[in-house]
Amino acid sequence: MRLEQFIRPAEMPKHTGCAQSTAYADVKAGLLPPPVKLGRRSSGWIAREVAAVQQARIAGSSEGEIRKLVAELVRQRHTATT
């Protein structure tokens, strides 16, 4: 079992170089997996998922390819819990 590291919304600019609002816009556009609930009033992104998207961007992946990657990352969340 792997313990996940999380990136809280306020920390996203430090990790991605983009504003919090950009992260949420990317989630809405399917370019970043949504954050997970950590508690009643807290959420965070799974660090390895953010890193995977960043690597895809560095590699020059198209938005369509990144959307497929994001969909696969989210799918893996659900299969990991079953």
Sequential pLDDT tens for the chain (82 residues): 578 899 999 999 999 999 999 999 999 999 999 999 999 999 999 999 999 999 999 999 999 999 999 999 999 998 865 5
| Overall domain count for the chain | 1
Question: pLDDT at position 74, please?
Answer: 97
Please give the single-letter amino acid code of residue 28.
K
* pLDDT computed for residue 78 by the predictor: 86
* Residue 1, domain member (yes or no): no
Rounded to whole angstroms, the maximal C-alpha distance in the chain is: 37
Examine residue 49 and state whether it is found in any structural domain, yes or no: yes
Residue type, 49: E
Full residue range of the structural domain in which residue 52 is found:
6-80
Instruction: State pTM to two decimals.
Output: 0.90
pLDDT digits (tens, 9 = 90+) for 3-16: 889 999 999 999 99
Tokens of 27: 């989630």
